[in-house]
Amino acid sequence: MEMKLEMDGTVAIVIASGSIDALTAPELANFINLQIQDGHTRLVADLAGVDYTSSAGLRVLLGAVKETRSKGGDLRLANIQPDVKKVLDLSGFTSILKHFPDRAAAIASYNG
């Protein structure tokens, strides 16, 4: 899995691609935790390049949401692909996470 960070004002955008599963989840969790430790608590995860998430991926997302929210921020999702959306819907995640059709809308939601 590949990850990179872009900034848009105070919003940190985590751009991930590949699968989020038990083999890659620790790497993603570390990457997100580093951003939070650096003071970036308003996060957007751009999932345009993520084609699969397993239960291990869900645990990473939940951990990040709880961590950012406890620090006054949030993790918001953008560009969720259909197979990933299905898992997020089935696990109830779309009811507790804010998600947007594209990155711009997710970033703009922090300014609303």
Partner 1 sequence: MPSQKKVALVIGSGSVKCAAALGLKQALDRAGIPINMLVGCSGGSLYAALMALNVPTEEIAAMSARLWTRALTARANRRALWQALFPKLAKFDSSFSLRDDKAINRQLQAVYGGKRFEDASIPLYITATDFMTGELVTLSRGDLLPAIRASLAIPLIFPAVQHEGRTLVDGYLSDPLPVSVAIREGADIIIAIGFQADTQSHLSSLMRYTFQFTSVVSNNLLKSNYAFTSLAHHSEVLLMVPEFEQRVRLFDTDKIPYVIQVGEREMGKQLPYLQQLLSN
Rounded to an integer, what distance in angstroms lies between the CA atom of residue 9 and that of residue 29? 23
| Residue among 42, 67, 93, 103 that touches partner 1 (CB under 8 A) | 93
What 8-state DSSP symbol labels residue 73?
-
Residue 33 is a binding residue for partner 1 (CB under 8 A): no
Select 6 or 83, whichever has its Cβ closest to partner 1: 83
Are the CB atoms for 100 and 78 separated by under 8 Å? yes
Contacts of 43 (CB under 8 A, 6+ apart): 11, 12, 13, 14, 32, 35, 36, 64, 68, 73, 74, 75, 76
| Min separation Cβ 10 and partner 1, Å | 29
Binding piece for partner 1, criterion CB under 8 A, among 4-12, 15-23, 30-38, 103-111: 15-23
Residue 27 is a binding residue for partner 1 (CB under 8 A): no
The residue ranges that bind partner 1 (CB under 8 A) are: 19, 21-23, 52, 54-56, 58-59, 62, 86-87, 89-93
